[in-house]
Each structure stands twice: as C-alpha cells, then as structure tokens.
Chain A
Amino acid sequence: MSLITAIKSGDAARAPGRRDEAFRWTDLRGALGTVPAVTDARQPVGDGTAPEGVLLRRHAAPVGSGVDETLLTVKAGETLRLIDHICAGEGAYVRDLALPIVLEAGASLIRLVLVEDGAEAITYCRSDVTLSSGASFRQTVLAGGAKRQRIETTVAHPGLGASVELNGAYIVDAQRHTDQTTRIAHSGRDGASRQLVRGVAADRGRGVFQGLIAVAEGADGTDARLKHNALLLSDRAEIDAKPELEIFADDVACAHGNTVGALDEDALFYAMSRGLPLEVARRLLIGAFLGEIVERIGDADLEALGRAFLTRRLEALAS
C-alpha cells in the first residue's frame, strides 16, 4: 500500500488512506479519485540561482503523475549545504518523490526544503536519512500546502557524536492541506536530537504534524526534545498533531510538547495601538512566530531564502 504502487498501477485504491493509521489525517486515496497517467513531460526546470557553495536541487512538478527517486550521499568528513526546492506545477498532478540521504562518518549537512504546490496537487515527499558516527544533520522544511501534501522524514540516529535537528514551518489557507511527519530512531547511546515545528492554519486550511521519537533498547543517555506549536486563525481551520515517544531504554531524557492556540489578542491590540493596521499587525505577529524557525536554519544564505519564502507566502495569506 503506497502512493508509488498506486501511480504505477493506475489504481487509486492502492494508495494509503485514512484507514491506515499513519495516513489517517492525510488521506491520499480519498484525494486521488483517478490516478493521472504517468508522463515524463515536465515543467521546464530552469537554472535557479543558489548562493555560492550551495547545492540546489529543483524538483519540477510532473504533468499528470510522476515518480522520482534521487539518492544523495555526503562523503566522510565533508560539509554540504543543500536546498531541495519542490516546485509547483499546473493542475491536478500527483507525485511521489523519494530523496534518501546518507551521511558518512563525520559528514555534515544543512538542508532546507522549500515546498511549493498548486492548490490541486498531491505531493508526497519522503526522505530516509541515515547517519554514521559523528555526522551532523540539520533540516528545515517550509511548506505552503496543496490538495494533499506530506513531507516525511525518517532519521536513523546512531547515537554518540552524531547530531540531529529537524525543524519545520507551514502556512495553509483556502482548502490547502499539509503534513509534516517525522520519525527519529535512536539506536545508539548518548544521542541527542532537537525538533521544533510551527504552523499556521487560516481559512479552511489544515495542518498535520506527526512526530515520533523512538529510543531502542540500549540507547541509554538519549536526549531528545520535540515541540510543535500552531496557530489557528479561523474557526474552520484545523490542526491535527500527534507527538509520540516510544522508549525502550532505561536512562533517557525525552520530552515532547504541543500547543495549538489563537493569535495573542493582547499583542495584536498592542501593535495596533502603535499604529499598525489589523492586517499588518497580524502578519507581523505570524511572521515573528514562524520566523523563529527560519532563525534556526543555521546558515545566513539559506536563512535569507527561507525568510523570503515565508514572506511571499504570508503576503498571499487569506484570512
């Protein structure tokens, strides 16, 4: 049961749907209807411009359905800055994008994933990330929603010496949906991981966050923190969040937190009392709320791009 088999067989019933626990909030089967034909025709990719020393991968949207898999290996001791730009296309396309990553010993990767889609699109992007000892992986996902959109990251954390930080932000409005699902599997001793995801759902938008931290037997000394905060900007918007800890080791420090609330009315009044019109004040506060994610990207060039992405999305935000 996967989106790939559904696309390859042309049978929507083979896509995961809401009866599957892991997809109960992101019903791909229900959204599919019929599966568009697989085609190689793509949107023109263009060069794109990346800051010097940054690897930019532009993943064009298919016309119809598309399946793609690209492996990235960061060699031992090397350092890489990577942008995965998942580009929007026209109409009701469906794509399954697999972007596995291997970090060899001592390798370091800062990854920014910018996800743009049309309102009728179904995008499922998954990355299995494997770290060797001493490797460092720092990822930020910024997503704006689609008909169905899921960005899934699974990290195999070997413990001591390796470090993992998974952050994300999302903004959804109209009838857009987005899902950030993560799983960090701690298998070795004394591993640390940090996670902060923030989201905003306006209008009839729907945001989903599922974060699992699994600590295997023997992975003592694991220190894992996971936090999700979301703002609901309308009565018809929806946030579904499931932070989970699965711990089979004895001596660990793990914590998860989840908050969903409205925009702070007091702060809004304060800003307005200084002369900021309501919409400007709202955007200022939302931008500040999500801006803390951008500040954690960990690289000035990528932060500038992340900030521009959020600003564009905020300016288009329907209330």
Chain B
Amino acid sequence: MLRISDLHVSVAGNSILKGLSLDLPAGEVHAIMGPNGAGKSTLSYTLAGRGGYEVTGGSALFDGEDLFALDASERAAKGLFLSFQYPLEIPGVPALTFVREALNAQRKHRGEAEIGAPEFLKRARAAATMLKMDFEMLKRGLNVGFSGGEKKRMEVFQMAILEPRLLILDETDSGLDIDALKIVSEGVNALRGAGRSMLVITHYQRLLDYIRPDRVHVLAKGRIVASGGPELALDLEREGYDRFEPAA
C-alpha cells in the first residue's frame, strides 16, 4: 500500500532523512521506533505533505501513485491520515462541524455525494460512544480547552469518521495516562482490518503493548537500520538505541 524508496528529505537546508526505504503492505501494522532526532516526525510530516519538508531524492508511492505529486488535502482524500503528536486548536470551529466539512471535502474530491446531517450525526454518536467521549464536547471549538488525552481521542474520533486506508500515528501515546492510552488504543485497534495499513511511530515500546505491530523498524540517523518482528521492540526497550547509533 505504501512503498518508500531511498527517501531523502531536508528541512531548512539540513538533511534529515538519508535514504529511507520501507514497504508497508495492505492490512499490516508497522511500528517505527527510534531515538530523538532520528527523523520520525520528519517522516510523518513529509508523508502527510507539510510545507518546509523538501524531498531531495527518492519516492513514496501510495497504491502506486506518487504521493509527492499531491498536496496535503489530496493525500487525505486518497485515504492518508496523520494523527498529530500535538493536535492543533481551532477556535470558532465546532469539532463536529470541522469533521463534517473534512469528510464532505474528501467525498467531493472522490466524486461521491455529500453526507447528510442525520447520517453524519449517527456515525458521530457511535464513534463518540466507542471512545467514551462526551458528545457535548464535540460542539465546542475543535480541541479548544481539551486535555492532552481528549485531543488524542479527538484524533481517533476523526479516524473513525473519515475511515482512511493509510494511518500514520505520530507519537500517539505521548501525554496519555494508562486509562486514556487503553481507550485510544482500543479505538485504533477497532479500525484494523484487511484494507487498512498503519504506521505507528513511537519512542517507547509501551504503545506497542496495546497496538500490536506485524513488523518493527528502527529509524536512526535518517535511515531504517534494522527491521524485525514484534520482539525487536522488546529488545530495544531492554538495550536502548545505542547499538544503532555508533559514535560518529
């Protein structure tokens, strides 16, 4: 579903990703682990299409299509979803309005009919119930006054409504206590399925106890330096990242 080949990315003239390659087949969940500064966030922002991330080499294909030929909204309409480490607050736009606008913009881009209010509300209520969210909260400004845990739940809420096929979870566990982590993970796990792939980017192994990956990759100094099964995450937790970061 996602094939990244020899990707090089610079930010403000600094080379961050230096030949990253990764193959994520449909229906699989892959974890990317790595120390601070390895390029984890650069990878997620580059895939999602944020400005300021300059692709200087390599490619990323999403269902065979060149991801970098599309802007961020077109990538979303194709089914890519980035769950932010620090979701933004948008005062004055009720959370429900925002998600509905986003859904209909995606549907319009795909040539599908807009979804009506009753059907949308039905889906929204179901998603809120699954995530144990107060529905009244969704009528307030998007993420305004939300706690860290509530913001992450709001991200999963959007995933549940938008039904993306390729999910990138950027440090989804940061700022979550154990209860919130469980709820968020259950929400993510409910979305796992044959047609959907996930890239779980995390610093700690903890999240992977809840969202079990099929494969684990180690990202260090801008490249994938090791890949393996779920047991690789446990090795990392025990031994740290030092062996992948030889002194320069």
Interface: A248 (CB within 8 A): no
**Which residues of chain A have C-beta atoms less than 8 A from B92's C-beta?**
287-289, 291-292, 295
A270-B84, A275-B106, A278-B71 given; A292·B91 CB < 8 A: yes
* A274 & B158 in contact (Cβ 8 Å cutoff): yes
Known: A276-B105, A277-B105. A267 touches B88 (CB 8 A): yes
Q: How far is the CB of B108 from chain A (nearest CB, A)?
A: 9
**Contact flags B46-90 to A (C-beta < 8 A → 1, else 0):** 001111000000000000000000011101110001101001111
Contact A272–B76 (Cβ < 8 Å)? yes
Query: What residues of chain A lie closer than 8 Å to B24, measured between beta carbons?
Result: none
- Asked whether B22 is an interface residue with its Cβ less than 8 Å from the other chain, the reply is no
Q: Chain B's nearest CB lies how many Å from the CB of A43?
A: 35
As a 0/1 sequence over residues 285 to 308 of chain A, the CB contacts with chain B under 8 angstroms (1 = contact) are: 101110110010000000000000
With an 8 A cutoff between CB atoms, is B102 at the interface?
yes
Knowing A269-B51, A272-B71, A273-B48, the reply to whether A285 touches B76 (Cβ < 8 A) is no
Residues of A within 8 A of B89 (CB): 267
Across the A-B interface, how many residue pairs have beta carbons closer than 8 Å? 80
Contact A270:B73 (CB < 8 A) given known A265-B51, A276-B105, A284-B101: no
Chain A interface extent, by class: 20 to 34
Closest residue of chain A to B82, judged by CB? Answer: A273
Contacts of A267 in B (CB 8 A): 88-90
8 Å CB contact of B49 from A265, A272, A295: A272
Q: How far apart are A100's CB and chain B's nearest CB, in angstroms?
A: 34
Q: What residues of A have a CB within 8 angstroms of the CB of B72 in the complex?
A: 269, 272-273
Chain A nearest CB, measured from B85 CB (Å):
12
Could you say which interface size class chain B belongs to? 20 to 34
**How far, in angstroms, from A285 to B97 measured CA to CA in the complex?**
12
Interface residues of A in 248-280 (CB under 8 A from B): 264-267, 269-278, 280
| B98, A274: Cβ atoms closer than 8 Å | yes
Assuming A270-B87, A273-B49, A275-B77, is B103 touching A284 (CB within 8 A)?
no
Asked if B234 is an interface residue, CB under 8 A from chain A, the answer is no
Is A270's CB under 8 angstroms from B106's CB? no
Q: Does A196 sit within 8 A of B, measured CB to CB? A: no
Q: A291 to chain B: which residues have CB within 8 Å?
A: 92
Q: Is the Cβ of A275 less than 8 Å from the Cβ of B88?
A: no
Partner of A280, one of B50, B103, B105, B158: B105
Kindly name the residue among A264, A271, A284 whose own CB sees the greatest number of chain B CB atoms within 10 A: A271
Which of A266, A269, A275, A285 interacts with B105 by CB under 8 Å? Answer: A275
Residues of chain B lying within 8 A (CB to CB) of residue A292: 91-92
B93 touches A288 (CB 8 A): yes
Contact A275 to B103, CB < 8 A, known contacts A269-B72, A288-B92: yes
Cβ B102 vs Cβ A288 within 8 A: no
Please name the residue on chain B nearest to A288 by beta carbon: B92
Which residue of chain A has the shortest Cβ distance to B86 in the bound complex?
A266
Identify 25 residue pairs between A and B in the complex whose beta-carbon atoms are under 8 Å apart, listed by A's number.
A264-B88, A270-B88, A270-B90, A271-B98, A273-B50, A273-B76, A273-B81, A274-B73, A274-B76, A274-B81, A275-B73, A275-B162, A276-B73, A276-B105, A277-B71, A277-B105, A277-B109, A280-B101, A280-B105, A285-B93, A288-B93, A289-B92, A291-B92, A292-B91, A295-B92
The 9 residue pairs across chains A and B that have the minimum distance between CB atoms: A288-B92, A275-B76, A274-B102, A275-B106, A272-B72, A270-B88, A272-B73, A288-B93, A277-B73
Task: Name B's A-contacting residues (CB within 8 A).
Answer: 48-51, 71-73, 75-77, 81-82, 84, 87-93, 98-99, 101-103, 105-106, 109, 141, 158, 162
Supply 16 further A-B pairs (C-beta < 8 A) apart from A269-B51, A271-B102, A288-B92: A264-B88, A269-B72, A270-B88, A273-B48, A273-B75, A274-B73, A274-B76, A274-B162, A275-B102, A275-B109, A275-B162, A276-B73, A277-B109, A284-B90, A291-B92, A292-B92
